[in-house]
Amino acid sequence: MTCYKQDPDPEPGEGGATERWRALGRKHRKAEHALLGVQYNGMISKPVPLVVQESKHWFWSGTGLRDGDEIPDLVAVEADGFDPSMPRPEDTEQTLLSKSPYDDSMGRGRRIQNTSLCEDQWGTLVFVAGTFHWPLALSRPENLDPQVRRATRNLMDRMLQPRG
């Protein structure tokens, strides 16, 4: 899969040229933010800590983490963040589970990474880690993090609960 974010698509397929979702439609209605609650907001030259927010939320239960605690080197490569000017997922309650400052390596200044969880009235969950290193903290021996593993287990347990 190829997506041309800045440059024009040199070989558009049958469906047309690739475009960023947030560039489609009136008032950014098709922005990834409207589906996910956050969107890509920058590149990171070296990993920075994920700064925990909303530590009393069930997501962080059993991790021992408190607001402001840092999980080292978890925010890396690319980051997603909340943008209040963009549309949010409709009919959902959103919780921003992290608020991690970083310097954008593309020269766009100081940015904030957010891990996001949106839940609708039927219990449907949309989780966005907001960082490339979350999966590494689950599986790569040198990056394993018990707090990230516990939070992810909390999420999976909640997703697997019967609804109705």
Domain for residue 5, yes or no?
A: no
Reported confidence tier of residue 3, pLDDT bands at 50, 70, 90: low
Give pLDDT tens digits for 119-131.
999 999 999 999 9
Number of folded domains that form the chain: 1
Domain for residue 14, yes or no?
A: no
Count of beta carbons in the 10 Å neighbourhood of residue 138 = 16
Backbone angles phi, psi at 81, to 5 degrees: -150, 160
- Whole-model pTM? 0.85
Domain for residue 112, yes or no?
A: yes
Q: Which residue range is the domain that position 54 belongs to? A: 33-160
Domain for residue 20, yes or no?
A: no
Give pLDDT tens digits for 31-73.
788 889 999 999 999 999 999 999 999 999 999 999 999 999 9
- In sign, the C-alpha dihedral spanning 135, 114, 70, 119 is negative
Between the two ends of the chain, the Cα-to-Cα distance in Å is 37
Domain for residue 141, yes or no?
A: yes
